[in-house]
Structure 1
Amino acid sequence: MPTGAHLLLVDDDPDLLRLLSMRLTANGYRVTAVGSAEAALARISIELPALVISDIRLPERDGMALFQQIRSQYPALPVILLTAHGTIPDAVEATSLGAYAYLTKPFDAKVLLERIEQALSLTAPSAVRTTGDEDWRSEIISRSQSMAELLAEARLVAASDASVLIRGESGTGKELLARAIHRASRRAKAPFIAVNCGAIPEQLLESELFGHVKGAFTGAVTSREGLVQAADGGTLFLDEIGDMPLLLQVKLLRVLQERVVRQLGSDAGRPVDVRILSATHRDLDAAMLEGQFREDLYYRLNVITLTLPPLAQRREDIGLLATQFLHMLAKKYQKTVNGFAPDALEALTRASWPGNVRQLYNVIEHVCALATAPLVPLSLIQRALRVPTLEVLSYTEAKQRFERNYLVQLLKLTDGNVSDAARLAERNRTEFYRLLQKYDLNASQFRGEPAPVADERQE
Structure 2
Amino acid sequence: MPSRQIDRAAACGRLLLVDDDPDLLRLLSIRLKASGYNVDAVDSAESALAHMAVRTPDLVISDVRLPGRDGLALFDEIRTTHPGLPVILLTAHGSIPDAVDATARGVFDYLTKPFDSRVLLDKVGKALEVSAPVPVRAGGDDAGWRAGIVSRSARMAEVLEEARLVAATDASVLIRGASGVGKELLARAIHRASRRADKPFVAINCGAIPEQLLESELFGHVKGAFTGATSAHDGLFQSAEGGTLFLDEIGDMPLPLQVKLLRVLQERAVRPVGATRARPVDVRIISATHRDLDAALPEGRFREDLYYRLNVVRLSLPALEARREDIPLLARHFIRGLADKYGKTIHGFAPEALELLVTAQWPGNVRQLYNVVEQVCALTTTPLVPATLVQRALRAPSEEILTYAEAKQRFERDYLVHLLKLTGGNVTDASRLADRNRTEFYRLLQRHRLSPALFRHEEEPAVAGAGQA
Question: TM-score interval w.r.t. the shorter chain?
Answer: 0.5 to 0.7
Of the three residues 6, 9, 26, the one matched with 1:5 is: 9
- Are 1:21 and 2:44 matched, yes or no? no
Shift of 1:322: 0.7
| Structure exhibiting the larger radius of gyration computed from Cα positions | 1
Show the counterpart of 2:300: 291
1:179-328 aligned at under 5 Å gives the runs 179-328=188-337
The answer to whether the 8 A contact 2:222-2:232 is kept is yes
The answer to whether the 8 A contact 2:219-2:236 is kept is yes
Of the three residues 359, 364, 378, the one matched with 1:350 is: 359
2:32 and 2:171 map into 1 onto residues whose CA distance is 49
1:18 and 1:381 map into 2 onto residues whose CA distance is 35
1:182 to 1:259, Cα distance in 2 relative to 1, 3 A: same
SS, match of residue 336 in structure 2: helix
The aligned amino acid for 2:175 is: I
Deviation track 1:164-210 (CA, whole Å, cap 9, x = no partner) reads: 00000100000000000000000000110001101112120000000
1:17-416 aligned at under 5 Å gives the runs 18-19=29-30, 21-22=32-33, 24-26=36-38, 128-129=137-138, 131-132=140-141, 134-386=143-395
2:209 and 2:361 map into 1 onto residues whose CA distance is 31
1:202 and 1:293 map into 2 onto residues whose CA distance is 15
The answer to whether the 8 A contact 1:46-1:316 is kept is no
Show the counterpart of 2:419: none
Shift of 1:30: 8.4
1:16 to 1:153, Cα distance in 2 relative to 1, 3 A: farther
State the TM-score, normalizing by the size of structure 2: 0.59
1:313 and 1:42 map into 2 onto residues whose CA distance is 25
SS, match of residue 305 in structure 1: strand
Unpaired segments ≥5 residues, structure 2: 1-6, 13-24, 40-56, 62-114, 398-469
The answer to whether the 8 A contact 1:6-1:30 is kept is no
2:395 and 2:120 map into 1 onto residues whose CA distance is 28
Deviation track 1:246-299 (CA, whole Å, cap 9, x = no partner) reads: 111011111111111111111201111110000000111122122110000001
1:283 and 1:133 map into 2 onto residues whose CA distance is 30
Shift of 1:46: 10
Deviation track 1:34-60 (CA, whole Å, cap 9, x = no partner) reads: 9588998999999999xxxxxxxxxxx
The aligned amino acid for 1:21 is: L
SS, match of residue 37 in structure 2: helix
Shift of 1:214: 1.6
1:196 and 1:287 map into 2 onto residues whose CA distance is 19
The aligned amino acid for 1:22 is: K
1:335 to 1:133, Cα distance in 2 relative to 1, 3 A: closer
Shift of 1:131: 2.6
The answer to whether the 8 A contact 1:211-1:224 is kept is yes
The answer to whether the 8 A contact 2:58-2:128 is kept is no
1:26 to 1:336, Cα distance in 2 relative to 1, 3 A: closer
The aligned amino acid for 1:191 is: P
2:174 and 2:205 map into 1 onto residues whose CA distance is 14
1:445-456 aligned at under 5 Å gives the runs none
Show the counterpart of 1:433: none
1:261 and 1:39 map into 2 onto residues whose CA distance is 64
The answer to whether the 8 A contact 1:46-1:319 is kept is no
Report the identity percentage.
64
The answer to whether the 8 A contact 1:47-1:316 is kept is no
The answer to whether the 8 A contact 2:136-2:142 is kept is no
1:213 and 1:316 map into 2 onto residues whose CA distance is 51
Deviation track 1:402-439 (CA, whole Å, cap 9, x = no partner) reads: xxxxxxxxxxxxxxxxxxxxxxxxxxxxxxxxxxxxxx
Show the counterpart of 1:417: none
Deviation track 1:294-329 (CA, whole Å, cap 9, x = no partner) reads: 000001000001011111111111111111111111
Instruction: Select between 299-308 and 287-296 the one with higher mean Cα deviation.
Output: 287-296
1:284 and 1:134 map into 2 onto residues whose CA distance is 33
Stretches (4+) displaced over 4 A: 14-18, 29-32, 34-49
1:136 and 1:286 map into 2 onto residues whose CA distance is 33
- Larger RCO (CA within 8 A; separation ≥ 6): 2
The aligned amino acid for 1:6 is: A
Shift of 1:219: 1.2
The aligned amino acid for 2:163 is: A
Shift of 1:154: 0.6
Unpaired segments ≥5 residues, structure 1: 9-13, 50-125, 389-459
Shift of 1:128: 2.6
Show the counterpart of 1:394: none
1:16 to 1:316, Cα distance in 2 relative to 1, 3 A: farther
The aligned amino acid for 1:265 is: G
1:334 and 1:262 map into 2 onto residues whose CA distance is 49
1:131 to 1:17, Cα distance in 2 relative to 1, 3 A: farther
The answer to whether the 8 A contact 1:366-1:384 is kept is yes
Shift of 1:150: 1.1
The answer to whether the 8 A contact 2:31-2:117 is kept is no
1:200 to 1:47, Cα distance in 2 relative to 1, 3 A: farther
The answer to whether the 8 A contact 2:187-2:286 is kept is yes
Shift of 1:148: 1.3
Shift of 1:362: 0.5
Shift of 1:7: 4.4
1:48 to 1:217, Cα distance in 2 relative to 1, 3 A: same
The answer to whether the 8 A contact 1:127-1:147 is kept is no
1:267 and 1:38 map into 2 onto residues whose CA distance is 74
Q: RMSD of the alignment, in Å?
A: 3.4
Shift of 1:218: 1.8
> How many residue pairs are counted as aligned between the two chains?
307
2:379 and 2:192 map into 1 onto residues whose CA distance is 36
